[in-house]
Amino acid sequence: MRLLAALLVGVVALLHGGFLVLEMFLWTTPTGRRVFRTTPEFAQASATLAANQGLYNGFLAAGLAWGLALGGAGHAVRTFFLVCVVVAGVYGAATVNRRILFIQALPALLALALDTLARS
């Protein structure tokens, strides 16, 4: 169970590392515009905001990686960052696009549940 929990936390961290790349470096490219379904004009106008959002996603990824590196002693760190991801995902789903709930919040919620169960 601990290995599965750690793998899922790692997946969530990798997702957020990917979001960092998409939002900071690929936002105005055809790939970034396709992923986020934006027009070239919107992508260009919002590039600075997207880069800022990407940086925050990088902090989430780093926090999760830190929690994993701490092993059993990192449960509180993993819990904090996974809860942050869930809250951000729920807020994003409510305000931007419902798919954020499934792409961001659900994997984090599953990782949080497994990490908590593995600790028991």
Check whether 22 has a pLDDT greater than 80: yes
Determine if residue 29 is left, alpha or beta; phi over 0 gives left, psi from -120 to 50 gives alpha, anything else beta: beta
Q: How confident is the model at residue 17 (pLDDT cuts 50, 70, 90)?
A: very high
Check whether 36 has a pLDDT greater than 80: yes
pLDDT digits (tens, 9 = 90+) for 78-113: 999 999 999 999 999 999 999 999 999 999 999 999
The residue ranges of every structural domain in the chain are: 2-119
Dihedral of the alpha carbons of 61, 62, 63, 67, in degrees to the nearest 10: 100
For residue 77, what pLDDT is reported?
98
Check whether 119 has a pLDDT greater than 90: no
